[in-house]
Amino acid sequence: MKVEAVSPREFGERRKRLVEIYRRAYRGMEAYAYTSSWEVRSYLRWLYRGDPQMFLVAYEGGEPVGFISGHRYWHDRQLGEVGNIHEFVVDPDFQGMGIGRALLSEVLRRFSEDHGRVMLWVGEGNERARRLYLRAGFREVGRAGVWIKMVKELEGTWTGGSS
């Protein structure tokens, strides 16, 4: 398995598969997701254009199996300038294999080069993701509707073990 940023060309070539991964990962959690293919394609394009070096794809056997996307220079009203993870999905057929930990570890390493902290929002019913974020050292700092705001101070990089 490898994790890397993708070129604009590869993003275009792989976008159909990335949309499929997104839709499969949110099956049963549609309250937190875009649901039409058009919305998902537009959302992924927005994510990629916002910070291409922070759109990381995990590959298994040369095929995408998950991705994480964020912006290095995001302004939050409470926190000021932070790194922000906007999206993080792993194909359900590949969950439980360390792919999510590898994606999160790499994005945190990249954020640590520019920031002392990173934030994200997670759906309150997405227990699997919440557990992963808590193990990675994130803490809950607020709520808005069905969303929980989490923050991690970046003293070093997380390697997938306990924080």
DSSP code per residue over 50-114: H-GGGEEEEEETTEEEEEEEEEEEEEETTTEEEEEEEEEEE-GGGTTSSHHHHHHHHHHHHHHTT
Domain map (residue ranges) of the chain: 2-153
C-alpha pair distances (Å), 100 with each of 53, 90, 95, 107, 142: 18, 6, 7, 11, 24
pLDDT for position 92: 97
> For the chain, how are helix, strand and coil distributed in percent, rounded to 5?
40, 35, 25
| SS3 assignment, position 124 | coil
Superfamily of domain 2-153: Gcn5-related N-acetyltransferase (GNAT) (3.40.630.30)
Local structure of residue 31 (DSSP, 8 states)? G
Instruction: Quote the CA–CA distance of 107 and 132 in Å, as a whole number.
Output: 14
CB count in 10 Å sphere of residue 19: 18
pLDDT for position 163: 44
pLDDT for position 156: 56
Question: Which two tokens mark 2?
Answer: 């490898």
Query: Quick check: 129 and 156 in contact, CB under 8 A?
Result: no
Instruction: Quote the CA–CA distance of 67 and 130 in Å, as a whole number.
Output: 17
Q: What is the model's pTM? A: 0.91
pLDDT in tens, the chain (163 residues): 999 999 999 999 999 999 999 999 999 999 999 999 999 999 999 999 999 999 999 999 999 999 999 999 999 999 999 999 999 999 999 999 999 999 999 999 999 988 889 999 999 999 999 999 999 999 999 999 999 999 999 975 555 554 4
